[in-house]
């Protein structure tokens, strides 16, 4: 059974990592996918081709979700190309880690802009469409760091905690129009980014997780699938931790 048959999903930052995993799972479940990427043109084209080969319509757009006008232009382009939008996944994110005493103002501002402001920009851009059709599912990618904090990540933690507050507020504002808004808080997910880390460090993290392994992009994508589909029709304003028990 395809849970998203014929639905149109927007996924920001999908050329690799978690975003790519979400795009693949959504396409497998029949969703047409419009996604953004910042610089990885080759990866984006490869993903576009891969998704189209799965029998759905897919298109990548080089667009910066952190820019208010670009977000609006992107959504207009998706509506022109796909006709509608049913699901929004705000996944675009970066890290610029440092202890607070060494963190530059620029590194703080940039992380807030890419991780948090992009969620405002994109949600505002799709809101009109969702209100008109009296339906829509918005899923915002937070992090366990946004729930519990992390030394050396004040900027990232603040952006991800902000996403949770934003998610709950949007759920309250738009619930009466059958528009749902939830957040996912991934824990230690093993992607291209973590592959560059020292093996001992990674193993140390795995040992501290009750399920004794890092998560996969697919673990996060399956949670997104649930929140995007009608299986979660009565769930809004929630934060779903996908962390192998890390926050237990």
Q: Where are the domains of the chain?
A: 8-241
Helices and strands (H and E) in the chain: how many: 9, 7
What's residue 39's pLDDT?
87
Q: Count CA atoms closer than 13 A to 214's CA, side-chain side.
A: 16
Query: Over the range 153-190, which residues count as b (16 or more CB within 10 Å of their CB) and which as e?
Result: bbbbbbbbbbbbebbbebbeebeeeebbbbbbbbbbbb
Percent of the chain with pLDDT over 70: 100
Instruction: Pick 8-241's CATH classification: 3.40.50.970, 3.40.50.720, 3.40.470.10, 3.40.1260.10.
Output: 3.40.50.720
Which segments within 12-77 are labelled E, that is strand? Answer: 32-37, 58-62
How sure is the predictor about 170, in pLDDT bands with cuts at 50, 70 and 90?
Answer: very high
Task: Say how far apart CA 149 and CA 157 lie, in whole Å.
Answer: 6
As annotated, the active-site residues are 156
DSSP three-state, residue 173: helix
pLDDT in tens, 13-50: 999 999 999 999 999 999 999 999 998 899 999 999 99
- Assessment of whether the complete model's pTM goes beyond 0.75: yes
Q: What is the pLDDT of residues 61-114, one digit of tens each?
A: 999 999 999 999 999 999 999 999 999 999 999 999 999 999 999 999 999 999
Q: What Cα–Cα distance (Å) separates residue 33 from each residue in 134, 222, 232?
A: 21, 16, 20
Percent of the chain predicted with pLDDT > 90: 94
Contact predicate 56/80, CB 8 Å? no
Q: What is the pLDDT of residues 126-144, one digit of tens each?
A: 999 999 999 999 999 999 9
Residue 193: pLDDT over 80: no
């Amino acid at each position: 059974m395809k849970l998203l048959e014929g639905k149109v999903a927007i996924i920001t930052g999908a050329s690799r990592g978690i975003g790519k995993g979400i795009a693949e799972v959504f396409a497998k479940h029949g969703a047409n996918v419009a996604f953004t990427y910042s610089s990885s043109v080759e990866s984006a084209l490869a993903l576009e081709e891969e998704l189209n080969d799965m029998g759905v319509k897919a298109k990548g757009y080089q667009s910066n979700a952190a820019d208010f006008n670009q977000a609006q232009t992107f959504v207009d382009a998706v509506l022109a190309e796909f006709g509608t939008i049913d699901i929004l996944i705000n996944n675009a994110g970066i890290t610029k880690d440092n202890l607070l005493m060494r963190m530059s103002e620029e590194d703080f501002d940039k992380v807030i802009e890419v991780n948090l402001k992009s969620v405002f920009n994109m949600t505002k851009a799709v809101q009109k469409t969702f209100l008109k059709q009296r339906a829509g599912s918005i899923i915002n990618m937070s992090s366990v760091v946004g729930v519990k904090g992390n030394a050396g990540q004040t900027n990232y933690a603040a952006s991800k905690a902000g996403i949770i507050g934003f998610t709950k507020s949007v759920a309250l504002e738009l619930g009466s129009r059958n528009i749902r808004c939830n957040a996912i808080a991934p824990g230690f997910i093993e992607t291209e980014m973590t592959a560059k880390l020292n093996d001992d460090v990674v193993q140390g993290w795995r040992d501290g997780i009750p399920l004794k392994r890092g998560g996969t992009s697919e673990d996060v994508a399956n949670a997104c699938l649930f929140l995007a589909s009608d299986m979660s029709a009565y769930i809004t304003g929630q934060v779903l931790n996908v962390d192998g028990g890390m926050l237990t």
